[in-house]
């Protein structure tokens, strides 16, 4: 029987599904390669190797949709691996490890574990993907005496932002939902302003929306890392989704003639230039008329008692992408 077991084990290596062993204090390694399954104007805009302990309420929330049978659980996650642990089974000679995408009932055999081991790390998985791991206990005759399954997930390497917008003293991000919903517990957000250059880190225990405080006329760099809570610890993705955000630009009147009006605004820290948009009489949309490094603009050729729309947007170029501040439309008219 042992010879057949070793034969199956080496066959599994040939199929690129390799399982090695460890004690309870040293996580064993296994490998598997699977193909698993606003506002009116929107902004176009630290390493956690030692996962910090957090409140137990977060850990309870992390298991709402990814379910587990009694005696088995996911204990750790990375972007390409999951770690599971189970209660030992009396009279078990070894354990068979199988994996399936959450959306499928077709399992793939990974290998066997001796009865002195009850913990497994499965590598080479797809980021942000849910799986079902099945652990089957076999007696000395190779007969299955129990089987347990656990739903588990790798960490997301990227998350998508559904919408985002500035309001007085704060900036809100609405995140796209993920499936299963509890494959993300919340978000670590690291941000700094172009004016202060001070890194601020906040953790949000919410899957759908969060708000950070912002102030002044400055671009902020925002890095968003999804995290998952397991066993009262927070496992944070190593990959961030980046945004550059800024408040709306407030315009002030700076003089006028019989046919022109001037406006000015405070400069935005970190901005490369400013785009001026005008909505002319009879038009239903704004047209960009100028991009400038100045914080002053004069609209000429105006007619009296006629409304013109104006808005100014700050621009910041980073890595071949231009980010924009939020904007606010104003009306201009000569009496």
Residues 15 and 116 in one domain: yes
Residues 322 and 231 in one domain: no
More confident residue, 283 or 16: 283
Handedness of CA 120, 67, 131, 183 (dihedral sign): negative
Residues 10 and 110 in one domain: yes
Q: What are 14's two structure tokens? A: 């040939």
Of 92, 122, 153, which residue constitutes the final position of a domain?
153
Of 245, 274, 291, which residue constitutes the final position of a domain?
245
Average pLDDT score over residue span 199-220: 95
Torsion angle defined by CA atoms of residues 189, 192, 193 and 198, in that order, rounded to the nearest 10 degrees: 150
Average pLDDT score over residue span 219-224: 97
Residues 20 and 121 in one domain: yes
Residues 238 and 278 in one domain: no
Provide the CA 223 distance to its chain's centre, in angstroms: 9
Number of domains in the chain: 3
CATH code of 210's domain: 2.60.40.10
Tally of CB atoms within 10 A around 241 = 19
Average pLDDT score over residue span 91-109: 92
User: Which range of residues forms the domain containing residue 207?
Assistant: 161-245
pLDDT digits (tens, 9 = 90+) for 148-165: 999 999 999 989 999 999
Q: What angle do CA 324, 329, 334 make, to 5 degrees?
A: 135
Residues 231 and 262 in one domain: no
Of 92, 118, 153, which residue constitutes the final position of a domain?
153
Average pLDDT score over residue span 247-276: 95
pLDDT at 176: 93
| Beta-carbon-side half-sphere exposure of residue 77 (alpha carbons within 13 Å) | 33
pLDDT at 267: 97
* 64 pLDDT higher than 70: no
Q: What are 275's two structure tokens? A: 């785009």
* 47 pLDDT higher than 70: no
pLDDT bin (cut points 50, 70, 90) of residue 179 is confident
Closest-CA residue to 233 (of 28, 51, 101, 56):
51
Which residues have C-beta within 8 Å of that of residue 194, sequence separation ≥ 6?
218, 219, 220, 221, 269, 270
pLDDT at 33: 26
Provide the CA 91 distance to its chain's centre, in angstroms: 44
Residues 203 and 296 in one domain: no
Of the listed ranges 46-50, 308-312, 317-321, the one predicted with least confidence: 46-50
Residues 19 and 139 in one domain: yes
Residues 109 and 165 in one domain: no
Share above pLDDT 90 across residues of the chain, in percent, rounded to a whole number: 72
Residues 171 and 142 in one domain: no
């Amino acid at each position: 029987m042992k010879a057949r077991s070793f034969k199956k084990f080496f066959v599994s290596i040939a199929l690129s599904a390799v399982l090695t062993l460890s004690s309870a204090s040293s996580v064993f390694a296994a490998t598997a390669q699977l193909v698993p399954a606003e506002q009116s104007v929107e902004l176009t805009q630290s390493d956690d190797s030692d996962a910090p302990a957090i409140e137990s309420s977060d850990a309870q929330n992390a298991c709402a949709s990814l379910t587990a049978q009694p005696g088995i659980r996911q204990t750790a996650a990375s972007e390409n691996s999951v770690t599971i642990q189970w209660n030992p089974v009396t009279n078990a000679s070894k354990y068979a490890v199988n994996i399936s995408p959450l959306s499928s009932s077709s399992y793939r055999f990974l290998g066997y574990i001796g009865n002195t081991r009850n913990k497994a790390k499965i590598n080479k998985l797809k980021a942000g993907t849910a799986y079902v791991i099945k652990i089957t206990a076999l007696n000395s005759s190779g007969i299955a005496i129990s089987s347990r399954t656990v739903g588990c997930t790798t960490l997301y390497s990227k998350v998508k932002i559904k919408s985002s917008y500035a309001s007085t003293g704060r900036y809100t991000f609405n995140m796209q939902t993920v499936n299963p919903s509890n494959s993300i517990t919340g978000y670590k957000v690291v941000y700094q302003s172009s004016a202060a250059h001070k890194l601020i880190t906040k953790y949000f225990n919410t899957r759908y929306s969060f708000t950070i405080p912002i102030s002044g006329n400055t671009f902020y760099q925002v890095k968003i890392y999804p995290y998952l809570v397991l066993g009262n610890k927070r496992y944070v993705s190593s990959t961030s989704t980046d945004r550059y955000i800024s408040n709306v630009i407030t315009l002030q009147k700076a003089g006028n003639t019989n046919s022109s009006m001037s406006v000015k605004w405070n400069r935005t820290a970190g901005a490369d230039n400013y785009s001026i948009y005008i909505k002319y009489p009879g038009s239903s949309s704004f047209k960009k008329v100028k991009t400038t490094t100045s914080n002053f603009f004069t609209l000429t050729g105006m007619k009296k008692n006629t409304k013109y729309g104006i808005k100014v947007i700050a621009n910041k170029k980073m890595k071949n992408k231009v980010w924009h501040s939020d904007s606010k439309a104003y009306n201009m008219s000569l009496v």
